[in-house]
């Protein structure tokens, strides 16, 4: 019985959390600008609307453009089931840290391929920028996750992120640093401010959006949904790190974890909208500096993991 409930809960989180989180980011941004803003579920409405629309596909594009969408969404859903981004998960499977990293890389690889496919200049430089950013940001994500994996002595993320009864308070800085490193890196990975502006209409400045320009209709709907899912999974992962830090200081019941793991995603969404309201988009050549901050957090987390691992 409880397994069915867990499956239901996971499925509904997978279906509705992405749209809701995007909705929260947009709504908060609108409220911060004194606007009413679109309804909270606008992202879902848009997805449904796009699914019903017909498609316009560039005549210069090949099957890659279509296949990308399928690969993208299927890998993303797999990732959403593998990754312990919520405090609950129906089945513990082989969710190795490096498997996750490479699945994320596979998504990016096909996204880059598909944006090069129609031969449009916008898609091509979007792809080039995405590739540059991912080279910079991938080490930060790997290091942050390795740091927590190192302290847990396993690379199975489900075990790493499992809440154990007694965690020493000295683990808190490690989780905090890893969470911060992951969050800063996911801002870059998800093409959000200050490295990319998801709301911009200027094609010349786009990174992620430029790669999706050639998609329309159901294709676009699935890609939009996939990137929203990627957002909640990455926010969920860094949220889990913060929750562990909290658990080190104040051990909460695992039932509370379910609620907390969802609300921390919302909290990170609010933080994102705050960042996007007050920050100015960085000059493209300055983007590596922002990534360097994420890398620094991850490196420090790794250092702390190494040092505490040696001493304990």
Partner 1 sequence: MKISLVPVPQAQLSDNLVDWLHVEDRRLGLISSLDGGQLVTLVLDCTDASAQCWLTPLDSDVYHSLTPSVPQAHWFERALNDLFGIRAAGHPRLKSVLQQSSCKGNLHPLRSIAQCGNPDHGHKSDNSYLHVSGEGVYEIPVGPVHAGIIEPGHFRLNCLGETIINLEIRLGFLHRGVERRLTEIPWRSARFVAEAASSDAAAACAIAHAIAVESMSDITVPERAQYLRTLALEVERVSMHINDLGGMSVDLGWSWLAANLSRLRGMTQEMAALLSGSRFLRNFICPGGVSVDPDARLGELKRMSEVVSKQLEVPINAFFDNSSVHDRTVKVGEISRSAARELGLVGVAARGSGIAYDARQHFAHGLYPALAPAMAVETAGDVLSRLKVRSAEIVGSLDLIRTALDNITSGTTSSELPNKLPGDTIGVGIVEAFRGELIHLIFTDKHGAIKRYCIKDPSFNNWTALAIAAGGNLVADFPVCNKSFSLSYSGVDL
Partner 2 sequence: MLGLAETLATAAAIFGIFMSGCRHVRSAIYLYAVQTALVASIAFVYSASEHTGPALNISLAVVLAKAVGIPFFLGWVVKRLDVRTDSGAFLPVPLSMHVSIALFATSYYLASSLDGAAGTFSAAAGATASISLVFTGLLFMMTRRLAISQIIGFLTMENGIYLLGLHETRGMPVIVEMGVLLDVLAAVMIAGVIVFRIKKNFKHIDVTRLTGLNEQ
Q: For binding to partner 2 (CB under 8 A), which residues are involved?
A: 168-170, 173, 177, 286, 288-289, 291-293, 295-296, 299-300, 303, 307-308, 310-311
Q: Report the partner that residue 283 touches, choosing among partner 2, partner 1, none (CB closer than 5 to 8 A by kind).
A: partner 1
Q: Report the partner that residue 288 touches, choosing among partner 2, partner 1, none (CB closer than 5 to 8 A by kind).
A: partner 2
CA–CA separation, 184 and 166 (whole Å): 28
* 285 is a site residue for partner 1 (CB under 8 A): yes
**Which range of residues in 43-51, 107-115, 181-189, 192-200 is near partner 1 by CB under 8 A?**
192-200
Q: Report the partner that residue 153 touches, choosing among partner 1, partner 2, none (CB closer than 5 to 8 A by kind).
A: none
* 170 is a site residue for partner 1 (CB under 8 A): no
- DSSP-derived letter for residue 170 is G
Q: Report the partner that residue 88 touches, choosing among partner 1, partner 2, none (CB closer than 5 to 8 A by kind).
A: none
Burial of 131 (0-12, 13-18, 19+ CB in 10 A): middle
What is the sign of the dihedral through the CA atoms of 260, 261, 266 and 272? positive
Distance in Å, CB of 289 to partner 2, minimum: 5
Burial of 286 (0-12, 13-18, 19+ CB in 10 A): exposed
SS3 229: helix
* 203 is a site residue for partner 1 (CB under 8 A): yes
Nearer to partner 1, 33 or 166 (CB): 33
CA–CA separation, 81 and 83 (whole Å): 6
**Given the structure tokens 């991938």, which residue do they identify?**
138
* 247 is a site residue for partner 1 (CB under 8 A): no
137 Cβ neighbours under 8 A, 6+ residues apart: 185, 188, 189, 291, 294
Residues binding partner 1 (CB under 8 A): 29, 32-35, 121-122, 124-125, 129, 193-194, 197, 199-205, 276-286
């Amino acid at each position: 019985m409880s397994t069915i409930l867990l499956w239901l809960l996971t499925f509904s989180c997978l279906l509705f959390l992405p749209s809701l989180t995007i909705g929260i980011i947009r709504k908060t941004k609108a409220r911060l600008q004194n606007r009413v803003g679109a309804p909270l579920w606008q992202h879902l409405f848009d997805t449904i609307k796009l699914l019903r629309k017909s498609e316009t596909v560039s005549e210069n594009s090949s099957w890659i453009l279509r296949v990308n969408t399928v690969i993208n969404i299927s890998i993303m859903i797999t990732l959403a089931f593998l990754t312990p981004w919520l405090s609950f998960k129906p089945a513990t499977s082989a969710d190795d840290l490096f498997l996750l990293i490479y699945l994320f890389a596979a998504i990016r690889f096909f996204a880059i391929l598909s944006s090069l496919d129609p031969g449009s200049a916008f898609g091509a430089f979007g792809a080039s920028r995405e590739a540059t950013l991912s080279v910079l940001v991938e080490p930060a994500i790997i290091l942050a996750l390795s740091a927590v994996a190192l302290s847990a002595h396993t690379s199975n993320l489900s075990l790493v992120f499992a809440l154990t009864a007694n965690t020493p308070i000295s683990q808190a800085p490690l989780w905090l640093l890893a969470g911060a490193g992951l969050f800063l890196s996911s801002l870059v990975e998800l093409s959000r401010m200050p490295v990319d502006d998801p709301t911009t209409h200027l094609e010349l400045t786009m990174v992620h959006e430029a790669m999706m320009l050639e998609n329309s209709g159901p294709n676009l709907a699935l890609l939009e949904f996939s990137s929203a899912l990627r957002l909640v999974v990455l926010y969920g992962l860094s949220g889990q790190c913060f929750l562990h830090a909290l658990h080190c200081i104040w051990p909460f019941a695992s039932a509370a974890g379910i609620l907390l793991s969802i609300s921390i995603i919302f909290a990170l969404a609010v933080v994102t909208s705050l960042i996007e309201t007050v920050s100015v988009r960085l000059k493209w050549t300055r983007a590596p500096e922002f990534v360097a901050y994420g890398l620094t957090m991850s490196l420090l987390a790794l250092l702390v993991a190494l040092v505490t691992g040696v001493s304990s």
